[in-house]
Structure 1
Amino acid sequence: MDMRNEATHIARQDGARAASAQQGSAEFLTFRLGAEEYGIDILRVQEIRSYEEPTRIANAPSFIKGVVNLRGVIVPVVDLRVKLGCEKVEYNGFTVVIVLNVRGRVVGAVVDSVSDVLELSGEHIKPAPEMNTSVDTSFITGIGSVGERMLILMDIEALMSSADMGLMDSAQVLQ
């Protein structure tokens, strides 16, 4: 296990222990990317908007679809399907942009659809499985289960502020 994977493993264990120790609950906005359902901390969500074609930025990575003007604020828009390696899905009437506040910066995330808001207690959150792959799964904080539903819980702040995203400067990331 390399140092990054080891640190990720320790962070996941600590997160899972904290969740089960407090047995408190947290609210998650759930959304779909392809066949999978994900959950993010509702406190990071500023609003949900219908998808509109962003203005493309030259030489931007493929997962950055461009920027939109949100009431005078220029907001970068990230397609989470592309970022997370999901199969291509056509944009349709259900496609939405989740507007997030990440470390004081507004960022949009394109998803297939938004499902609902769920309150999960620590007993419904299990640690994320360890995967011995080269894929970065450090942003996955756990797996939530509600009946037959399984949610991949993600730290959207960690994902959006990762160095490969290029959305935050190093001073913001270190905060």
Structure 2
Amino acid sequence: MELASKYNPADVEGKWYQYWLDNKLFSSKPDGREPYTVVIPPPNVTGVLHMGHMLNNTIQDILIRRARMEGKNACWVPGTDHASIATEAKVVNKLAGQGIKKTDLTRDEFLKHAWEWTEEHGGIILKQLRKLGASCDWDRTAFTMDEERSESVIKVFVDLYNKGLIYRGVRMVNWDPKALTAL
């Protein structure tokens, strides 16, 4: 067998990454080993990886792989965030390109467009992380607006409200004149 004079990642990386995924080498199930978990601070559904993501995810991947080599039950949980304000801006711009104003839509109609945007663009960053060889437990991928997490957020907010730790009132923190909303 002759070795190539130059390393060609396409000949090697995809094959081995698929082998790792097929053999569930990044999967984690509770057992007697010391647990070690990292949850990706979820990137939003509006864009692609940038240098900040890369630095953060590289460090996380190093820590998770080290924990695995130390025999810990390492779990790196991937996910994405709805980035509501940023997503709204992207959807409003897309609709404007189609001649549709947000104010002409009902809340449900606008949410339909927002979910379509999320389904189309929401997985880009996670696909990029896979391409880079990130050792996440991909079966645990979550989205901050999925049913389970949304229910948890509502439960926590109601609990905090009932304990008097947060309140609801007419307050304006910041006004966005383009989106016409209080932030």
More helix by share: 2
- Higher-Rg structure is 2
More strand by share: 1
TM-score scaled to structure 2, two decimals? 0.24
